[in-house]
Amino acid sequence: MAQSITDINGVYASAIESGIKSKGLDLGLLYVPNAVAAAAVFTQHKFKASSVSYTQKCLKRYTLKAMIINSGNANAVTGKQGNLNTKLMASQTAKLLGLNPNEVGVASTGIIGKPLPMNHIETGIITLCKQKEDKQGNQLAESILTTDLVPKSTFKQAKIGKKTIQIAGITKGSGMIAPNMATTLGFLVTNVKLNQEILQQCLTKAINKSYNMLSVDTDTSTNDMVVCFASGEYAINQHDPEQINAFQNCLDEACIDLAMQIAKDGEGASKLIEVRVIHAARYSDAQQIAKQVCDSPLVKTAIHGEDPNWGRLIMAIGKNHTVKLNPDKIQVMLGNETIINNGQPTDIARTKLKKQLQTSKVIITIDCAIGNATATAWGCDLTKGYIDINTEYN
Amino acid sequence: MAQSITDINGVYASAIESGIKSKGLDLGLLYVPNAVAAAAVFTQHKFKASSVSYTQKCLKRYTLKAMIINSGNANAVTGKQGNLNTKLMASQTAKLLGLNPNEVGVASTGIIGKPLPMNHIETGIITLCKQKEDKQGNQLAESILTTDLVPKSTFKQAKIGKKTIQIAGITKGSGMIAPNMATTLGFLVTNVKLNQEILQQCLTKAINKSYNMLSVDTDTSTNDMVVCFASGEYAINQHDPEQINAFQNCLDEACIDLAMQIAKDGEGASKLIEVRVIHAARYSDAQQIAKQVCDSPLVKTAIHGEDPNWGRLIMAIGKNHTVKLNPDKIQVMLGNETIINNGQPTDIARTKLKKQLQTSKVIITIDCAIGNATATAWGCDLTKGYIDINTEYN
């Protein structure tokens, strides 16, 4: 079994089958009693779930020490009762853990618009709080899944000064994936000691390079949230740019690892797509081009069919007229093969291109040749599996 | 047989099987020898096909009198030879019709990145110009199709003063449909007499309400172009706002009719989706909300499965944080049934909602209750047919 979030000192987790889903783990507790800082990013959706608004409010004045998390029901667009239910989950958990209700965040994921089965949840919280010091990191990773096929976790280490710091995380997500400032659910823990403001800055930066560069289907969830707890074991020097940089790199790696796992497990996906844009005029241009190629249904279906119809790649690269591009300078590569050089097709053989598509990870590189900005986005192919999963979700 | 573009006096058309496609009509001529004005809108794609750049240039100083149009090959991203081939198509047609090459527009549609088979095209143009005064409007409508299942045409009339003016049009498009200032190919003719500048203004307005509110798959073509010819038979008073308004309304109707035919014939589509946004704060907000609901793969698959999972509708309405929305005021209707009232779910029975989805046209109405702006967008459901068509297009 791979290392899990509970392999970090002072981090506890457990999960149970409470009955929200028809079967499987669906309610979990993440508990970091000595957390010195907690940071989070949230969906910018207009119809935020009550778990998002509630946890956002807690973070303004308190350091989170725990998260109570359910899958199988998003508790979004559930009216006033939905808000009350979120608060009930937090206050019941807080009472049993001896915390202030504002120290307990709430996260929910699953179907939108259905009332939470509070009887199952209340009984479940009692069980979870009895085993609050369990080390079931892998079970928690499993309990947050919805249409995901596999649990997703990461464990990264870095040497900072003489200490080895650790960052571990779990995440979920397979459909309704097109984050904006955050996506889906993700929970990270680190053993460093640093203040909340700096942790928030680092997390926001890492999310912009990872979760926010991820798209399975262009749809954005009402419940997206990524939270990071710092357990405070190892102090790092917050005034030393080198130390902060080392921490940032380790956090970036952890977030990118989680984001790629989501793309790979996209609903119905058979291939991971990585689009690298280099030498763009502006960072926002590089991001936009990378994401729009990942999002193009015609690129996604061609890759699924291993059909080297590279015209569609060009279509997807140029479809947004607000982006700076010089059609006469661009270079485009599919895997190791160059398709377009200085804006001219290279007449490469179809069979050679097809080979670049017969892999589980397809890499597209777009060299804009007009600047220094770089961005990478991740997505997946579009298959009949996606249609199957989503024509009858209820 | 329905009325066609060649039922307008002074409008001629013909089409042949030239051999660009493996079978079927693929080369056509539209000829309006006495055109007094011609206006057009074009794709804003960064990798414009040479037919787009060429025709754009012609229109700056000349009145188009004819269009030579091929399907089966987009002649886009075909390098310098591609540009030469477009010019050759125009100059050969012009010579045989006795026109200046700048009076002949070129339109191409089909696969991107393959050289045009010029031998077939040159022979074809000779045949077409011999029958230049044919009245084969319906054949021309057929010759411009690619993955379309049915030809698409419109014929509208309006009383302006004592005269009955006519506007007729043909269009194509089924995939790579998410226009920006124009989409796909569309050709309109009217028997009015008015100047080029006013015709251009009217066409731009009509396209913004019709083609630009259309999305099959969010992908934008390199070759989009809609051209409108005025044959000059009936003069309208360009200084009378009432007359211009009557013409505008008739042109709007024609363009909306064509756009809806494209949505209905979207690749793999089984249902037409119409999203009406009312009482939005700004027109751009109304447009954005209507389009993002039409574009959402999760809404499209739910509608395909006739699955009344209305949470996805809310997800799609709120996913863009730049739009002005008040979650506590909004009203959402699926067909005749209200799902959300003042931001609260109405608890309507699933069976009643399912009934609203068991139709070939699904209507979603979103009342933002914060302003006076209105927009309507059209799209289609997402099915395995789309995946089938696009995994192996070559």
Of A113, A220, A384, the CB nearest to B345: A113
**Does residue A216 surpass a pLDDT of 80?**
no
State the pairing for strand pair A361-367/A272-280. parallel
H/E element, A61 = helix A50-61
CA distance linking residue A275 with residue A278, whole number of Å: 10
Q: Give me the sheet containing B331-334, strands edge to edge.
A: B344-345, B337-341, B331-334, B361-367, B272-280, B373-380
Q: Give mean pLDDT, residues A146-167.
A: 86
To the nearest whole Å, the CA of B203 is away from the closest chain A CA by: 21
**Nearest of A234, A85, A86, A240 to residue A164 by alpha carbon:** A234
Which among B350, B352, B333 is positioned nearest to B293, based on CA atoms?
B333
Query: Is A5-264's fold the same as A272-391's?
Result: no
Higher pLDDT, B181 or A53: A53
Q: Which residues contact A74 (CB under 8 A, 6 or more apart)?
A: A49, A108, A109, A110, A111, A112, A221, A222, A223, B311
Residue A338: how many other CB atoms lie within 10 Å: 14
Helix (H, G, I), strand (E, B) or coil at A43: coil
Q: Which residues, 6+ apart, have CB-to-CB distance to B239 below 8 Å?
A: none
The ipTM value here is 0.73
Strand partners, B367: B278, B331
- Of B7, B23, B375, which is closest to residue B170 (Cα–Cα)? B7
Best A108, A180, A267, A315 residue to mutate vs chain B (most B CBs within 10 Å): A315
B75: left (phi over 0), alpha (psi -120 to 50) or beta: left
| Tens digit of each residue's pLDDT (9 = 90 or more) over A173-197 | 766 655 443 346 778 888 888 888 8
Q: For A217, which residue in chain B has the nearest alpha carbon? A: B297
Which pLDDT band, with edges at 50, 70 and 90, does B318 fall under? confident
Out of A183, A184, A222, A376, which one is annotated catalytic? A183
Residues of A in contact with B182 (CB under 8 A): none
B382 vs A45, A222, A387: nearest CB: A387
DSSP state of A84: H
Of B79, B297, B323, the CB nearest to A217: B297
pLDDT band at B181 (very low <50, low <70, confident <90, very high): very low
Domain regions of chain B by residue span? 5-264, 272-391
DSSP bridge pairs for B255: none
Judged against a pLDDT cut of 90, whether residue A281 lies above it is answered with yes
For A128, the token pair is: 């979870």
Cβ of A345 within 8 Å of Cβ of B298? The answer is no
- Within 8 A of A216 by CB-CB distance, chain B residues are none
- Which is more confidently placed, B1 or B280? B280
Q: Which residues of chain A are within 8 Å of residue B315 when distances are taken between CB atoms?
A: 45, 47, 112, 176, 219-222
What does the pLDDT read at residue A182? Answer: 36
Among candidates A139, A115, A109, which has minimal Cα distance to A29? A139
pTM to 2 decimal places? 0.77
- Determine, for residues A302 and B113 on separate chains, whether the beta-carbon distance falls below 8 Å: no
Task: Tell me the chain A residues in contact with residue B387 when contact means C-beta distances shorter than 8 Å.
Answer: 301, 304, 382-384, 387
* Nearest CB neighbour to B219, from listed A45, A315, A327: A315
Distance CA A255, CA A248 (A): 10
- Cβ neighbours of B218 in A, within 8 Å: 218, 295-297
Instruction: Report yes or no: A144 and A170 within 8 Å, Cβ to Cβ.
Output: yes
Nearest to B345 among A77, A298, A304 (CB): A77
What distance in Å separates residue B362's CA from the closest CA in chain A? Answer: 15
d(CA A174, nearest CA chain B) in Å: 12
Computed over its alpha carbons, how large is the radius of gyration of chain A?
22
Higher-pLDDT residue of B100, B49 = B100
B79 to chain A: closest CA residue? A344
**CA dist., res. B336 & res. B112, Å (int):** 43
Higher pLDDT, B247 or A174: B247
Number of inter-chain CB pairs under 8 A, A vs B: 190
pLDDT value at residue B176: 60
Q: Could you tell me what percent of chain A has a pLDDT over 70?
A: 95
> Is B272-391 a domain of CATH 3.10.20.340?
yes
8 Å CB contact of A314 and B47: yes
**Closest CA of chain A from B162, distance in Å:** 44
- CATH number belonging to the domain at A5-264, selected among 3.60.70.12, 3.30.70.1400, 3.40.50.1220, 3.40.50.300: 3.60.70.12
A74 three-state secondary structure:
coil
Of B242, B229, B155, the closest CA to residue B194 belongs to B229
Q: Is A183 a catalytic residue?
A: yes
Question: What's A354's DSSP letter?
Answer: H
The answer to whether A158 and A262 are in contact (CB under 8 A) is no
The predicted-structure confidence for B44-71, as pLDDT tens digits, reads as follows: 777 788 999 999 999 999 999 999 999 9
Residue of B nearest to A300 (CA): B391
pLDDT at A297: 86
